[in-house]
Chain A
Amino acid sequence: LAKTTQPISMDSYEGQEVNITCSHNNIATNDYITWYQQFPSQGPRFIIQGYKTKVTNEVASLFIPADRKSSTLSLPRVSLSDTAVYYCLVGDTGAGSYQLTFGKGTKLSVIP
């Protein structure tokens, strides 16, 4: 399982765009990149998943360069409710096995 590295914490003001970068130098060919969000006392919540280039949904965008050794989660115009821990995961979802390995995540604090 590929190991990931992301900043421990980040601060942002309300209304700003937040970019959280994750490093995964040992990503394998079959690995997908997935981001989860976790609020205190709740289970993680799936945000976005991608394999290469750019993926966008209603809450975030995920940018993946051609070498796939890093990825960036972009949250547009954050609000106080976006204060949470964000986890970057890399995993192979084929061959009948799909393990998720969580690191410590990035604690995002949104300031009024």
Chain B
Amino acid sequence: NAGVTQTPKFQVLKTGQSMTLQCAQDMNHEYMSWYRQDPGMGLRLIHYSVGAGITDQGEVPNGYNVSRSTTEDFPLRLLSAAPSQTSVYFCASSRGRHGYTFGSGTRLTVV
């Protein structure tokens, strides 16, 4: 049972490049979310999904796209990377109110 798997663990991008952060869970959870965490800060919600085919924006959605074609996968796409998107990104999944399970994070640096 792998839980929530995020890839890659580390990534360096140049300004303007695009990329996709992968997130997969094997717990059949209906809820999935993406958060970013900046130094000394709590986590801020980017996008979330309540099931396959359903996504919605969180607190800081600008510059990011998501899709949820399957229950297992919830990729996060950076359309045109900017230095302000340098952060640690966490994916999480949950079965209703039973608490979220977080991945180990992707540390992204945009230069």
Q: Which residues of A contact B (CB under 8 A)?
A: 32, 34, 36, 41-46, 49, 87, 93, 96-105
Contact = CB atoms under 8 A, between A and B. Distances in A.
A103 B92 CA distance: 17
A89 to B, nearest CB: 9
30 contacts: A32-B97, A34-B99, A36-B100, A41-B105, A42-B105, A43-B4, A43-B92, A43-B103, A43-B105, A44-B43, A44-B90, A44-B92, A46-B99, A49-B98, A49-B99, A96-B50, A97-B50, A97-B56, A98-B31, A98-B50, A98-B94, A99-B33, A100-B45, A101-B45, A101-B59, A102-B35, A102-B44, A104-B41, A104-B42, A105-B42
* B-side interface mostly: strand
Contacts of A32: 97
Interface in B61-111: 90, 92, 94, 96-105
Given A43-B105, A45-B102, A102 B42 contact: yes
A99 B58 contact: yes
A99 B48 contact: yes
Given A49-B99, A97-B56, 17 more contacts: A32-B97, A42-B104, A43-B90, A43-B103, A44-B92, A46-B99, A87-B42, A87-B43, A96-B51, A97-B50, A99-B45, A99-B58, A100-B33, A100-B43, A102-B35, A102-B42, A103-B42
Nearest to A35: B99
Contacts of A105: 42
A41 to B, nearest CB: 7
